[in-house]
Structure 1
Amino acid sequence: MSLPYISDHYTPVVEESTATGLVVRGTLPPELDGRYLRNGHNPKPGVTPTHWFKGSGMVHGIRLRDGRAEWYRNRWVRTPLFEGKPAYDEHGKPDLAASVAGTHVIEHGGRLLALQEANLPFELDAELGTVGCFDFGGKLKTNMTAHPKEDPVTGELHFFASSPFPPHLIYYVASPQGDIVRQEVVEGVGTGLMHDFAITENFVVWADMSVTFTMAEKSGIPYRWNDSYTPRIGVMPRTGAPVVQWFEVEPGALLHVANAHEDASGRIVLDGPRFDRSAWEASWKWWAGLAGHPEVPAVGVVSHRWVFDLAAGSVKEELVDDLVVDFPTINETVLGRENRYSYAVAFPGAGLHHHGIVKYDNLTGARQVTPLSRDEIPGEAVFVPAAGGGNEDDGYLLTIVSNTARNTSEFHVLDATDLTRAPVAVVELPHRVPGGIHGSWVPASDLA
Structure 2
Amino acid sequence: MDTKPYLTGHYTPVVDEATSFDLTVEGKLPPELSGQLVRNGHNPKPGITPTHWWKGSGMVHGIRLRDGHAEWYRNRWVRTPALDGAPYLTERGPDYSASTAGTHIVEHAGRLLALCEANYPFELTRELETVGGYDFSGRLTTAMTAHPKQDPVTGELHFFGSSPVPPFLTYHVAAADGEIVLSEQVPGASAALKHDFAITENHVVFLEMSVTFDHTETSGIPYRWSDDIAPRLGVMPRGAGGAARIRWYAIEPGQALHFANAYEDAQGRIVIEGPTVDREGWKLSWNWWAGNGGPRHSEPITRSVNHRWTVDPATGTVVESPCDDLNVEFPTINEDLLGREHRYQYAIAFPDDRGGNHGVVRYDRRDGTRQILDVGAGVLPSEAVFVPATGATREDDGYLLTVTSDLHRDASSLLVLDAGDLHRDPIATIRLPRRVTAGIHGSWIPDEQIA
Could you tell me how far 1:290 is from its partner in structure 2?
2.1
2:104 aligns to what?
104
Q: What letter corresponds to residue 49 of structure 1 in structure 2?
A: P
1:425 aligns to what?
428
Per-residue CA shift, 1:15-49, capped at 9, x if unaligned?
00000000000011111000100000000001000
2:281 aligns to what?
279
2:401 aligns to what?
398
In the aligned structure 2, how far is the partner of 1:47 from the partner of 1:124?
Answer: 24
RMSD: 0.9
Q: What letter corresponds to residue 216 of structure 2 in structure 1?
A: A
Could you tell me how far 1:351 is from its partner in structure 2?
4.2
Is 1:39 aligned with 2:30?
Answer: no
* Residue aligned with 1:98, SS: coil
In the aligned structure 1, how far is the partner of 2:298 from the partner of 2:353?
Answer: 15
Q: What letter corresponds to residue 72 of structure 1 in structure 2?
A: Y
2:345 aligns to what?
342
Q: What letter corresponds to residue 72 of structure 2 in structure 1?
A: W
1:316 aligns to what?
319
Q: What letter corresponds to residue 368 of structure 1 in structure 2?
A: Q
In the aligned structure 1, how far is the partner of 2:339 from the partner of 2:203?
Answer: 9
Could you tell me how far 1:349 is from its partner in structure 2?
2.1
Per-residue CA shift, 1:199-229, capped at 9, x if unaligned?
0000000011100000110101000000000
The question of whether the paired residues in 1 share the 8 Å contact of 2:193 and 2:211 is answered with yes
Per-residue CA shift, 1:277-335, capped at 9, x if unaligned?
01101100100002233211001010000000001100100010000000000000000
* Residue aligned with 1:82, SS: helix
Could you tell me how far 1:350 is from its partner in structure 2?
6.3
Structural mapping, 1:126-137, within 5 Å: 126-137=126-137
Per-residue CA shift, 1:331-351, capped at 9, x if unaligned?
000000000001001001264
The question of whether the paired residues in 2 share the 8 Å contact of 1:324 and 1:350 is answered with no
Could you tell me how far 1:239 is from its partner in structure 2?
2.5
Q: TM-score, normalised by structure 2?
A: 0.98
* Residue aligned with 1:36, SS: strand
In the aligned structure 1, how far is the partner of 2:87 from the partner of 2:213?
Answer: 22
Is 1:142 aligned with 2:145?
Answer: no
In the aligned structure 1, how far is the partner of 2:190 from the partner of 2:94?
Answer: 20
1:416 aligns to what?
419
Q: What letter corresponds to residue 275 of structure 2 in structure 1?
A: P
Correspondence for 1:260 among 259, 262, 266 = 262
The question of whether the paired residues in 1 share the 8 Å contact of 2:158 and 2:174 is answered with yes
Could you tell me how far 1:388 is from its partner in structure 2?
1.2
Q: What letter corresponds to residue 401 of structure 2 in structure 1?
A: L
Residues 383/140 of structure 1: CA separation in 2 closer, same or farther (3 Å cut): same
Tell me the number of residue pairs that the alignment of Structure 1 and Structure 2 aligns: 447
In the aligned structure 2, how far is the partner of 1:38 from the partner of 1:288?
Answer: 22
Could you tell me how far 1:85 is from its partner in structure 2?
2.3
Structural mapping, 1:213-362, within 5 Å: 213-241=213-241, 242=243, 243-291=245-293, 292-349=295-352, 351=354, 353-362=356-365
**Unaligned regions of 5+ residues in structure 2, if any?**
none
* Residue aligned with 1:354, SS: coil
2:151 aligns to what?
151
Per-residue CA shift, 1:166-197, capped at 9, x if unaligned?
11100000011110000001001111100000
Q: What letter corresponds to residue 69 of structure 2 in structure 1?
A: R
* Residue aligned with 1:146, SS: coil
2:19 aligns to what?
18
Is 1:49 aligned with 2:50?
Answer: yes
Could you tell which deviates more after superposition, 93-102 or 367-376?
367-376
1:384 aligns to what?
387
